[in-house]
Structure 1
């Protein structure tokens, strides 16, 4: 379950990166390739920009929900071998003993 959630998060993140790179910060983006003021409404290219924006919001919300679900799955005690590397290292380490204090000289 955990691996599936992480895989979906990675997949949606990659798709979100691609969608963000496709967009133009000034509102052109993919619809800017078909630039003609009359053609944007006649051929429905304006809808392409709306679709890209909706997909961007959808992937963002999906990533947020998946991260929260992953967090709740881990905090519910269903870790099944998923443990921090630091916890494993700390359990195997032994603390060094303190050196004996030096005798006081007068």
Structure 2
């Protein structure tokens, strides 16, 4: 066992509470840019021509932000509590593109 799950339960609970407080403070600082505060993510399934299967990915939560540019959006996450409290190594920022008008 390693990482988050190797921590004693009391330590995990305290870190989680600290992380949530810090996330709320981050969200308050960036509230003008947050479109959807998101939520933690759970189990993942994939649908394909072969059927439905349980799969794993590294995503643990999501939040939707609005910014003038992709670079400005990613800068909102500099110093995010995800890095100091939770065992994550990065925050991935993806653009949501418009659906082409001819569809």
Instruction: Tell me if TM exceeds 0.5.
Output: no
TM-score, scaled relative to structure 2: 0.26
**Greater Cα radius of gyration, structure 1 or 2:** 1
Greater strand content: 2
Q: Which has the higher helix share?
A: 1
